Amino acid sequence: MSVDEHIAALLDGDRDARDIAASRLRGLHFDPHLLVPVLQHPHVSRQVKAIEVLRYSRTRDAVELLVGMLASQHELVGRKAASRLANIGAVAPEVIADALDTATTPQHRLNILDALSRLNHPRGREALLVHADEWDPHHRVRALDYLRRYRRDVPVETIRAALSDPDTKYTAADVAGRLRDPSFIEPMIDICLGSDDWAAWKASASLAKFGMAAFEPLLARTGDPALHDRIARALGRLIWRIDEARFWRLWARNTPAQIRDVCIQHLGSRDATTYDRARCMAALAEHRHDDNRNRRIWCVHAYERLEAIDALQALASDPDEDVRRRAEWALRALANRQG
């Protein structure tokens, strides 16, 4: 089939015909402007298929056509064009940058900035920083997401400001976790300990990416008893990053109680498999008869990992039915594993 026939299939063919035509066109050299009728088709699916084909035409003409699609009123089309400019935009980055001067809407401008940020283009970073505080919350969130791509020149102050903005702190926490500038740690801890919302959950997960750098600043907040549960939640995500020596120093603190809870649970995880077995057994013995049934259950998990049959048999006689049942399950699991 000729190029014209393939393009006709993109315009009028069924889904399978369009897929075949797009696949064939990717391997052919032709004038990208032949795809203009498909790019102008009223159905978004046709436009997206033409955009996919253009990514294989590494020419200035193809870049210009994709830049034109950044102005689409359909969000999917604009974002798809920005994504594909990451593949070929380096051919003519100035064409994308110049489009900022004629952007007609915030969405159009953000689509252009999406493409520029994928290329690490400095004009994109400059525009994102200048306009970061001007857009509405939805647009600011997108701007932050694009700023994270400038890893070689991290916009620290902008991201720190976003961490204190209720409208953007969720995305800012995600970006901060990816970029890992040390100055993000304290405001991230503020988010973790400030509420129980989704932003706190994201900040807790992102804080773990800072590893040991976040450990002591987090523990420094234990002076406020009202924060102990939230500190434990954040520590639970961070503890798998610490080495054995630091773990035992944490164990020795013993207070607040929530930190010891996290430590007991950690001893039952795979992350503790390299720890000294005798020391683990001695530590767990402190809580095998703990008044807190949850701690006894966590001991069951740890004893199963350690294959501590005698300890599990003892817990199988625990006065609490749930503890007994879990110990019995652990014993059966070990018997199946060993048999």
Single-letter residue type at 114: D
0.85 exceeded by the pTM?
no
Q: What percent of the chain has pLDDT over 90?
A: 77
77, 107 in Cβ contact below 8 A? Answer: no
How far apart CA 41 and CA 135 sit, in angstroms, is 31
What integer is the mean pLDDT of 110-118? 95
Determine the Cα–Cα distance for residues 63 and 11; give it in Å rounded to an integer. 21
CA 317 to mean position of chain CA atoms: 44
- Residues 225 and 79: their CA atoms lie apart, in Å, by 47
Supply the pLDDT for residue 121: 95
pLDDT, greater one: 211 or 31: 31
One-letter amino acid for residue 299 of the chain: C
More confident residue, 140 or 327: 327
The predicted-structure confidence for 55-76, as pLDDT tens digits, reads as follows: 999 999 999 999 999 999 999 9
Q: Residue 300's pLDDT is what?
A: 98
21-37 pLDDT, tens digit each: 999 998 889 999 999 99
Residue with more model confidence, 300 or 151: 300
Closest to 186 measured CA to CA, from 158, 143, 229, 221: 221
pLDDT at 147 over 70: yes
CA dist 303 and 271 (Å) reads 14
Amino acid 322: pLDDT: 97
Cα gap 163→38, rounded to integer Å: 43
pLDDT tens figures, 217-271 = 999 999 999 999 999 999 998 998 888 999 999 999 877 899 999 999 999 999 9
Q: What is the pLDDT of residue 143?
A: 87
DSSP collapsed to 3 states, the chain: CCHHHHHHHHHHCCHHHHHHHHHHHCCCCCCHHHHHHHHCCCCHHHHHHHHHHHCCCCCHHHHHHHHHHCCCCCHHHHHHHHHHHHHHHHHCHHHHHHHHHHCCCHHHHHHHHHHHHHCCCHHHHHHHHHHCCCCCHHHHHHHHHHHCCCHHHCCHHHHHHHHCCCCCHHHHHHHHHHHCCHHHHHHHHHHHHHCCCHHHHHHHHHHHHHHHHHHHHHHHHHHCHHHHHHHHHHHHHHHHHCCHHHHHHHHHHCCCHHHHHHHHHHHCCHHHCCCCHHHHHHHHHCCCCCCCHHHHHHHHHHHHHHCCHHHHHHHCCCCCHHHHHHHHHHHHHHHHHHC
Residue scoring higher pLDDT (141 or 278): 278
